[in-house]
Amino acid sequence: MKLSGKVAVITGGATGIGKATAQLFIENGAKVVIADVSNQAENTAQELTKIGGEVIFVKTDVSKEVEIKNLVEETVKHFGKLDIMVANAGIGHPAALIHEVTIDRWQQMLDINLTGVFLSNKYGITQMQNQGTGGTIVNVSSIMGHVGKTNLFPYTAAKAGVTNLTRSLGVTYAKEGIRVNAVCPGFVDTPILSSADEEKRSLLISAHPIGRLGRAEEIASTILFLASEDSSFMVGANLVVDGGYTAQ
Pick the CATH number of 7-247 from 3.40.50.720, 1.20.950.20, 3.40.640.10, 1.10.510.10: 3.40.50.720
Average pLDDT over residues 229-238: 98
CB-neighbour burial class of residue 223 (10 A; exposed 0-12, middle 13-18, buried 19+): buried
47: amino acid identity, one letter: E
Task: Give domain limits for the chain.
Answer: 7-247
Residue 20 pLDDT more than 80?
Answer: yes
Residue 194's pLDDT is 66
Q: Write out pLDDT tens, residues 182-205.
A: 999 999 987 767 667 788 888 889
The pTM score is: 0.95
Q: Please give the helix or strand (H or E) that residue 220 lies within, else none.
A: helix 216-227
Would you say 14 and 36 are in contact if contact means Cβ atoms under 8 Å apart? yes
**Pairing outcome for strands 31-36 and 178-185:** unpaired
Catalytic residues: 155
How much of the chain exceeds pLDDT 90, in percent? 80
